[in-house]
Amino acid sequence: MKLSDLHGGAAFPSTRSRSSRARRTKTHLVSAFCVVAMMLGFVTLPMAGSVSGASTKTTITYWFWGESDIPGITKWMQQRIATYEAANPGVKVDLVPQSNTTIIPSFTLAAQSKTGPDLDTQWATLPTILPALGGAVTPISNYVSKADTSHWLNTNENTYQGKIYAMPLYMIGVPLVFNKKLFKEAGLAPVAPATWAEFLADCKALKAKGITPIGMGNKDGYFGAWMFAIYEKQMLNSISQLTEGVAGKGNDETKLMASLKSMYTSFQGLIKSGYVNSNVESLTLDQGWQLFPEGKAAMSFTTDGNVLSWAKTVGEANVGVGKPPILGKGALASAYDVTQSSDEFITSWSKNPKADAKFLEWLHEPVNMIALNKETGAFPADNQFPVSDITDPLARALDTLDTSGTSIWLENYIPPQIDSDADLPAGQLITSGSGTPAAAVALWQQQLSLWRTQQPTQFKQFSTWAAAS
């Protein structure tokens, strides 16, 4: 969910920055079969213990995703691999980049045959935990010491029954960004609104001056998904209220539907009041974001990287950031919106998990984390990264938001099928005006029922995980 010239690194093009989950594309199984078929050309490479020439080498096949989140991270990874192979001549790492549309279905198919990658990247939490519960993922904490994993950030997103199943590489935060110059033109103080009432008041003042208050896009459903991740979280006292509602435990689903209706009602209020650009439904999330650097919108919910990239266009002195305004009254209302977005893990069929873990652990060495920041601008998911390297004031403000207090990206905690078939289209009902909050809730109920029926094994695994989380 973030990024640009973070901590003084290279700028991330704003149209490429993505939030782990916040921008997930709906997967299509038919295309996935084609993709995996093509990939099999990669995975027929020698596996662990294969012979290369006269010497035996351990070959690690690594299906990697990250470019959509962090433009330039694939190049960084290729450089890290070259360095690692030079220092470890008995190891060869074959990198196979993945796309937004293949990341989940390609691994789903690989797990069925237990062939393909030794290391894989998935979006954090359920896209990782559900395959893990199905036996496709080996806990990385089986091979990496607590002394090392203690430096990794947000490992809670991929922890189950005391085991860490995957390793984070970077962090992405989602602030509210605002244009101080446009605020001044509307007679507003250059301060981020802290509450929903303040937010609405600022929107009203901006609109009165002919300024579009909020610039977003929801053609792809991701603005709606972000509103769910940010504002449904604020309605809750705990994540279990969401997960047990999704699992249909007791009357938890009824309570979840009530909080969703409240959230969608507030979301609908922004649309009906004209506080969001009128063409929100015809623009993708990336396209809607461009309204802010173009000076056509005063505020946006975006990523750290976009903030820093946009500041170069509109002038850093004109850019302010803050937490999304507080709407809900749940115990999680004050939690911020940060995630590791994607993660790296060892597949259960890998022939040499110790070698896999050694490589992943090495990626977290300070020299590599520093290089990640300098070469891509990403915030490394490691507490050993020297904060002193962040010299830009705006980047420091973003890093402070990302690292202060509790953070939750709620979209991580719903099954992928519910995300694509309920979360995204429900938000589109609201932004298009084609459905009411009640209709959005009805869609959630319908898709939850279908998922439980169509995916009984996954539903059982999810329910087991939810009960223990």
Q: Which tokens is 271 given?
A: 């649309």
Predicted local distance difference test score (pLDDT) of residue 36 = 41
Q: Considering the domain 175-336+405-455 in this protein, what is its CATH number?
A: 3.40.190.10
Predicted local distance difference test score (pLDDT) of residue 404 = 83
C-alpha radius of gyration, the chain, whole number: 22
pLDDT confidence bin for 3, thresholds 50/70/90: very low
Domain residue spans in the chain?
15-172+340-394, 175-336+405-455
Digit-coded pLDDT (tens) for 385-416: 998 888 889 999 999 999 888 899 999 999 98
Choice among 135-139, 227-231, 274-278, 301-305 with the minimum mean pLDDT? 301-305
Digit-coded pLDDT (tens) for 320-335: 999 999 999 999 999 9
φ, ψ of residue 60 to 5 degrees: the values are -110, 115
Beta strands in 84-207 (DSSP E): 91-97, 119-123, 137-138, 159-160, 163-164, 167-168, 170-173, 176-179
| Contact between 361 and 148 (Cβ < 8 Å) | yes
Question: Is residue 75 predicted with pLDDT exceeding 50?
Answer: yes
Distance of CA 110 to the CA centre of its chain: 23
Q: Please tell me if the domain spanning 15-172+340-394 has the same topology as the one spanning 175-336+405-455.
A: yes
Residue 309, SS3? helix
Integer Cα distance of 15 and 377 in angstroms: 15
| Nearest Cα to Cα of residue 279 among 323, 223, 322 | 223
Question: Is residue 99 predicted with pLDDT exceeding 60?
Answer: yes
For helices 456-468 and 437-454, the axis angle rounded to 10 degrees is 110
CA dist 162 → 158, 209, 333 (Å): 10, 54, 26
Integer Cα distance of 187 and 8 in angstroms: 32
Question: Is residue 432 predicted with pLDDT exceeding 70?
Answer: yes
pLDDT confidence bin for 139, thresholds 50/70/90: very high
Predicted local distance difference test score (pLDDT) of residue 55 = 59
Predicted local distance difference test score (pLDDT) of residue 69 = 81
Q: Which residues pair with 386 in a beta bridge?
A: none
Predicted local distance difference test score (pLDDT) of residue 321 = 98
Q: Span 204-233, mean pLDDT?
A: 97
DSSP per-residue letters across 408-451: --GGGGS-HHHIIIIIHHHHHHHHHTSS-HHHHHHHHHHHHHHH
Tell me the CATH architecture of domain 15-172+340-394: 3-Layer(aba) Sandwich (3.40)
Q: Span 32-45, mean pLDDT?
A: 40
Digit-coded pLDDT (tens) for 127-136: 999 999 999 9
Strand pairing class (119-123; 342-347): antiparallel
Query: What region does 97 belong to: left with phi over 0, alpha with psi -120 to 50, or beta?
Result: beta
| Contact between 311 and 14 (Cβ < 8 Å) | no
Predicted local distance difference test score (pLDDT) of residue 64 = 98
Residue that the structure tokens 């319908």 belong to: 446
Question: Is residue 145 predicted with pLDDT exceeding 90?
Answer: yes
Question: Is residue 109 predicted with pLDDT exceeding 90?
Answer: yes
Predicted local distance difference test score (pLDDT) of residue 405 = 84
Name the average pLDDT for the chain.
Answer: 88
Greater pLDDT, 141 or 44? 141
Q: Which residues pair with 300 in a beta bridge?
A: 177
Digit-coded pLDDT (tens) for 42-66: 443 333 333 334 457 899 999 999 9
Question: Is residue 38 predicted with pLDDT exceeding 50?
Answer: no
